[in-house]
Amino acid sequence: MHAPRRGVLFVCLGNICRSPLARVIFEDLAIRRGVADRFEIDSCGTGAWHVGAGADPRSVQIAQRYGLTLNHCARQLNPDEDFERFELLIGMDQSNCTTMIERGAPQTRVQLMRSFDPTLAREPAHRIDVPDPYYGGDDGFDAVYHMLRRACEGLLEHSIRS
């Protein structure tokens, strides 16, 4: 009998930049480690502006630059289903975490994405948001990729150990 898969949900504001990129990075790392079958992985946004849209083209480009394919259809957080289905609710920033808790997420299951980056262990929560690159230039997407990559590596290690 197989152990139940651990649900990991990456959450940002519109579900077109940060959370889909985090999802594809985490999926790739889990595949490379041979543990992808241990996880159910998805992403969503707290807002509905982009529901049904693909990922921001800049997120797609940055994923491709690092050898990843980002196929995506944006969706909005569904508290009734998502809080039941996913054990780890990973917000990209403090606002995403607060919104999930306000919508009924168990606070103990809501984590800030970069809290899993081992290089930031001593940083206070307000200093480790993943900034939203949507209104900036392409260099913001590259910086976000590297933030997400380090945090996803730490999240995977944490998830395998616990």
Q: Which of 17, 18, 56, 152 is catalytic?
A: 18
Annotation marks residue 18 as catalytic: yes
Does residue 12 have an active-site annotation?
A: yes
Select which of 12, 17, 97, 152 is catalytic.
12
Catalytic (active site) residue 150 = no
Count of Cβ atoms closer than 10 Å to residue 141 Cβ: 23
Buried b (16+ CB within 10 A) or exposed e, 44-73: bbbeeebeeeebbebbbebbeeeeeebebe
CA distance 101 to 158: 22
Tokens linked to 158 = 């944490």
Instruction: Identify the active-site residue in 28, 42, 132, 152.
Output: 132
Catalytic positions: 12, 18, 132
